[in-house]
Amino acid sequence: MAEELVEIDCILTTHRYLNFITVPFFLLNSFGLFVIYFATPKHLGTFKYYQLIVQFLGLLNDFFLCSCVLPVPCFPAPSVLYIGLFANLGVSKICQISLQTFLLIEFVVALLGAIFEKGQAVLPDHHWAKFGRRKALVTEIFWYSHPLFLLEPIVYAIWAANDEKVAFNEQIQRFPEITSFLTNVNVWILEKSVGSVFVATLAIYFSLFGAVLFGLLIFTNHTLTQQRNFMSSRTLHLHKKWIRNLNLQLIVLFVMFLVPDIWFIICFLTANTKIICYSIFASFFFASHSTVGTIVQLTCYDTYREFVFRLIRCENPIKKKKKLQPIARIAVAWTKEIPKTNINERSRISRSTSVF
């Protein structure tokens, strides 16, 4: 593959144009919050709040990754250029790396938390995997907070162990043609040894994360299949549809991750490939996965889709329909036809009917 030189000025100019796209992305994710809050059926209970958490963290994740941080990896040198708003404001790179890692992992964690809640909802009360309220709360607190006490210390330790001067000299000797790129103040360069540890740590973490994810998905779908003899066909159909839509959200998320990651792997493993800088469009593609997830939600979930269509038809989707009560009206009609009697007459009738 031919050598590709991409100047930083070109990347910054492209990012200024792409910033205009983040505005409709932000509005679309905010609209998704509105739809989830008002259109989620009440019988789903707390699952509504899990969906809201997923959507809110996805909104923050896309906004910060696209506008505030936007990391552009450089290949084959292990370095990252930060070109977002925080870089212009002079925010330290360690803060940008920590925030980027935290928001990205929290978004995925929230989505898995929604799957966990859905799996608990379809389990019978005496099932061995059914968590009590306290046990489920402790599990979810650990699950949502583990990036703070597990990932953030690892990121900080790698930052502290890395010597950027040594890393710069290593990469300049290997790729002198990207000297201007690596000397930018917003470029984070990793030493070869530290970079190997960093890649190994990420590989182990995401392997464990993926194992938990697929185990949870398989168990939830298997449990739902087992419950087909205990649920009505309508209830089973509703559960299947919601779990199917959650699976679609996860598939979209992994596609948005895998497309850039496969390109990263190609850049590292292909000896003849020398791509001096990774495309900003792929980084932007990677940073907008929550927006694609919102589109999936608004199109695949029946209740959300109907809510949006009612808005398009200029109807009020929040207004509740009046429930018909034919039994009450019949009762009123009968009472009108019954002649009024005094107390003695009614008591006499009741005594006479008690004989029969």
Lowest-confidence region among 110-114, 125-129, 180-184, 327-331: 327-331
- How far is the C-alpha of 255 from the C-alpha of 65, rounded, in Å? 17
Lowest mean pLDDT segment, chosen from 105-109, 198-202, 303-307: 198-202
Q: Is residue 327 part of a domain?
A: no
Compute the average pLDDT of residues 136-140.
87
> Looking at the domain assignment, is residue 110 inside a domain?
yes
pTM listed for this prediction: 0.76
Residue 45 lies in a domain: yes
Per the model's pLDDT, the better-predicted residue between 246 and 172 turns out to be 172
Determine, yes or no, domain membership for 340: no
In a domain, 317, yes or no: no
Tokens standing for 134?
A: 């306290």
Mean pLDDT estimate for the chain: 78
* Among 310, 218, 245, CA closest to 237: 245
Residue 329 has phi, psi (to 5 degrees) of -65, -35
With tokens 């930018």, the residue in question is 184
CATH number at residue 35: 1.20.1070.10
Which domain does 257 fall in, by range? 8-312
296, 252 Cβ separation under 8 angstroms? yes
Give pLDDT, residue 303.
87
pLDDT in tens, 197-254: 887 888 888 888 878 888 887 887 777 777 666 667 777 777 777 777 777 877 887 7
Average pLDDT over residues 276-304: 80
Q: Looking at the DSSP assignment, which residues form a beta bridge with residue 238?
A: none
Residue 126 maps to a domain? yes
Evaluate whether 230 touches 127 at the Cβ level (below 8 Å). no
Evaluate whether residue 328 is within a structural domain: no
Token pair for 65 = 């990754």
Whether the per-residue pLDDT at 323 is higher than 80: the answer is: no
Copy the structure tokens of residue 313. 């038809």
User: What does the pLDDT read at residue 21?
Assistant: 85
Instruction: Quote the number of domains for the chain.
Output: 1
Assigned domain for 186 exists: yes
C-alpha–C-alpha distance, residues 47 and 40, integer Å? 9
User: For residue 81, what are the contacts with CB-CB under 8 A and spacing of at least 6?
Assistant: 8, 11, 71, 72, 73, 74, 181, 184, 186, 187, 277
